[in-house]
Amino acid sequence: MEHFEKTLHSEVKFSGRIFTVKEDSVLLENGEEARREVVCHNGGVCVAALTDADELLLVRQYRYPYGEVLLELPAGKLEAGEDPFKAACREQREETGTTGRNYVSLGRLYPTPGYCGEVIHMWACRVAESLEQRLDPDEFLDVVKLPLEKAVEWVMDNRIPDSKTQVAILKCAALVSAGKL
């Protein structure tokens, strides 16, 4: 059986700089109607940038919704219509001051499919060149080099709780182990 939900009516409840919230009425496959609250987001990108010594470049930054400093891969939001790969390269350059080579797609991540349409596009690469960071005026972070093996340990013991970072680290480690990165 093919599963579906058909939108009958959609109403924007909030429109902000980063996301929009809408409330939809939908027709379910059994003929009943239901409500869906949806966060519309342009999506994001992240990059697992590895040095030739198999050290990952991560960033430490304060995350307001959690009230704590998190260790994450360099990442950022997509502008409407922006090419995800170009955005990933831009974010890597801005946040870590590096460029990459041998980029490999790690696929897409749906972080919260129950209520949000955000898609995070993930890549891994080898660091090609180290330059200076180009942080946005409201961006404050530190770059941390962490051996890939240690990063995997930190994912497994939840010292790195961010979902995109967890998934990309584990996929990156699998590629390195298989000799593909």
Bridge pairing between strands 120-130 and 44-50: parallel
pLDDT band at 86 (very low <50, low <70, confident <90, very high): very high
- pLDDT tens string 163-172: 999 999 999 9
State residue 8's pLDDT score. 98
Helix (H, G, I), strand (E, B) or coil at 112: coil
The mean per-residue pLDDT over the stretch 104-133 comes to 96
pLDDT band at 1 (very low <50, low <70, confident <90, very high): confident
With contact defined as beta carbons under 8 Å apart, do 49 and 74 qualify?
yes
**Statement: the pTM of the whole predicted model exceeds 0.85:** yes
The mean per-residue pLDDT over the stretch 24-31 comes to 97
* Domain 42-177 top-level CATH class: alpha beta
State residue 23's pLDDT score. 98
Q: Please enumerate in sequence order all residues whose Cβ is within 8 A of that of 133, keeping only pairs 6 or more positions apart, or say none.
A: 94, 95, 96, 97, 143
Residue percentage of the chain with pLDDT more than 90 = 97
- On the question of pLDDT at 136 being above 90, the answer is no
**Angle subtended by helix axes 163-177 and 148-156, to nearest 10:** 130
State in Å, rounded, how far the first CA of the chain is from the last one. 40
- pLDDT tens string 33-43: 999 999 999 99
- On the question of pLDDT at 66 being above 90, the answer is yes
Bridge pairing between strands 5-15 and 75-77: unpaired
* Domain residue spans of the chain: 5-40, 42-177
What are the DSSP calls for 86-100, one per residue?
Answer: HHHHHHHHHHHSEEE
The chain-wide mean pLDDT, for the chain, equals 97
pLDDT band at 95 (very low <50, low <70, confident <90, very high): very high
The rounded distance, in Å, linking the Cα atoms of 53 and 148 is 9
